[in-house]
Amino acid sequence: MEQIKSEKELQARFEKCGACLQKKFHCEPGHKAIVVCGGTGCLSADSQVIIDKFNELIKANGLEDKVTANIVGCFGFCSQGPFVKVFPEETLYVKVKVSDVEELFEKDIKNNEVVERLLFVDPQTKQHVQKQHEINFYKLQRRDIALHGNGEINPEDIDEAIGNGAFQGLNRALHMTREEVIDEVLKSGLRGRGGAGFPTGRKWSFVPKGDGPKYMICNGDEGDPGAFMDRSIIEGNPCAVIEGMMIAGYAIGAQNGYFYVRAEYPIAVKRLAKAIKELEEIGILGDHILGTDFSFRCHIRLGAGAFVCGEETALINSIEGKRGMPRPRPPFPAVKGLWGCPSVVNNVETLACVPYILREGWEKFAAIGTDDTKGTKVFALGGKVNNVGLVEVPMGTTLRQLIYDIGGGIPGGKKFKAIQTGGPSGGCLTEKDLDTPIDFGSLVAAGSMMGSGGAIVMDEDNCMVDVAKFYMTFICDESCGKCSPCRIGTKRCLDILTKICDGKGEPQDLEDLKELSGVIRNNSLCALGQTATNPILSTIKAFPEEYEAHVKDHKCPAHVCKNMMEYYILPNKCIGCGLCMRNCPVGAIAPGTEPAHLPNGNVNPGKFAHVIDPKKCVKCGSCLSGCRIGAITKR
């Protein structure tokens, strides 16, 4: 591959590759460019097969000189994938199947006809929407900072990354002093996106000056349930994260950087490794980068999926080949980190923001967001929301806008109940909090936290005691066991929550949970234990009546806790078809004595409404999901 050994050569490559990208997106008459989402979600739904099929058709029709088909990073709108986008018209097709490719190729690629049935349909207007930016999901987003290049460039093509501005920020940084680079990041207001929100530039400034080995570490071990922000950023534009690490490495005087990425992210690891290898080949990584005295190399270490390794000292232990357990602090990693040397740990999203700041200037980044928190935040929006996906929004966007304007509201007309932000370390916010702006201070004041960016929406069918139990089960599984407040305390909290969900709870259990939570929070060694009981405390505070119903009345208002609910067939709705009886795996359903009714309300002659024997029922729910007329309910 052609070497890039100077600023001049980088600029020439940037202009050449940028022209190629422009040609791809603004094709000449008669030319087309097809891009297909290559994120994990869409790849699992055969997007690679879709790409291969397009390329087969291009070759079979002799159109290699006029049509291209490539993968790109995540489009974000995961509930509508796989995506196919056709340039220059920028027509976006959703939920594309392999069986749709031939029709798309014949109509759109060959004859310039839009295939309307594969366009997104606006749920409000019922109109087809052809352009990506016209879809409500995208209107409030800014996908040009942390998600820069996602959905636009081929993440496995170095030239496309360079043409899209990669390493322009690095080039500018190398013409500044290390102190000036740190000051640029400080003035931008960038705070760590891994959860703590510590000012990034200040963290870099803690590294002692002077000779000796220093290390940059990228924490790509996101472990929050439902979170996939860091994975998607690496998958969609690995060069952005590499560039961010290089700029940080230059600022602190490090010559080596370690990417710690969980092994469950094979596509991210593969694309990251490929980018590192090719950047070494062209001279962007290695010695005397761009003709300067700066030398830097990147390495990859795979994590085994331990949630506690999101804590920086546990992560450092893991890189060193030790068990992933936190170390007491001080000394902090900036003074004594990897192999006893000064080290800085930043997460993927933080490093992905750094190139934008150096490329565009700190003023542009600082102009976005709130007084407390600058820039944008990437969220993995999931749970009971219509538009599940990956979003990047300006800080200050409200939770209401996130859930309703971007997320499209709650499915099935159900009532919103809560949103869990911050993962297992966060808390549940309710309807009264919907106008809370998204920034570090506001979310903490409301009783939750930013966290790394997971946002799980819950509706009226969720039991909040069960939600707290779910997160505590996760924490117990992930606790490293080093300190007894976390190891023993979280297990005891889980025992109490299990007792309550089993219908055996007592009012004293609620007091015990509150007292235990305080002990765990105040005495645990690391942030995992210190924040472990946030879901318990936030749900008790926001939904006291739900906990009281469990421990006083031994009822689950949401009908989720199995020992406190039963399935019931409504006799005035049952038509006596027997489908539920045939579906029941334990034979708990049989015809009763009351007559069945037709949908018009008349008696169904010779048919009897079915009944469920609660002693036999295992509460698997197959009857409820299988009943086509809604005659089965929970009570």
177 shares a domain with 49: no
Q: Is the pLDDT of residue 225 over 90?
A: no
Q: How far apart are CA 327 and CA 173, in angstroms?
A: 33
Q: Is the pLDDT of residue 99 over 90?
A: yes
CB distance 149 to 164 below 8 Å: yes
**Mean pLDDT computed over 257-269:** 95
Local confidence band at 574 (pLDDT 50, 70, 90 cut-offs)? very high
Q: Is the pLDDT of residue 2 over 90?
A: no
439 shares a domain with 313: no
Q: Which domain holds residue 94?
A: 21-134
Q: What mean pLDDT, rounded, does the chain reach?
A: 94
In a domain, 435, yes or no: yes
Per-residue pLDDT at 23: 87
591 shares a domain with 487: no
Domain count of the fold of the chain: 5
pLDDT tens by residue, 176-185: 999 999 999 9
Backbone angles phi, psi at 178, to 5 degrees: -60, -40
573 shares a domain with 551: no
| Residue reference for tokens 């949908």 | 599
Beta pairing partners, 568: 633
- Residue ending a domain, choose from 532, 562, 592: 562
Q: How far apart are CA 103 and CA 99, in angstroms?
A: 8
- Residue ending a domain, choose from 366, 386, 421: 366
Specify the CATH number for the domain of residue 473: 1.20.1440.230
534 shares a domain with 452: no
Tell which residue, 429, 423, 446, has the closest CA to residue 310.
423
pLDDT tens by residue, 104-140: 999 999 999 999 999 999 998 999 999 999 999 999 9
570 shares a domain with 544: no
616 shares a domain with 551: no
**Mean pLDDT computed over 428-449:** 93
Q: How far apart are CA 228 and CA 232, in angstroms?
A: 6
Backbone angles phi, psi at 200, to 5 degrees: -65, -45
Q: Is the pLDDT of residue 217 over 90?
A: yes
pTM summary value: 0.93
Reduce the DSSP state of residue 389 to 3 states and report it.
Answer: strand
444 shares a domain with 493: no
239 shares a domain with 110: no
- Give the start-end residues of each E strand in 445-585: 454-459, 567-569
Q: Is the pLDDT of residue 1 over 80?
A: no
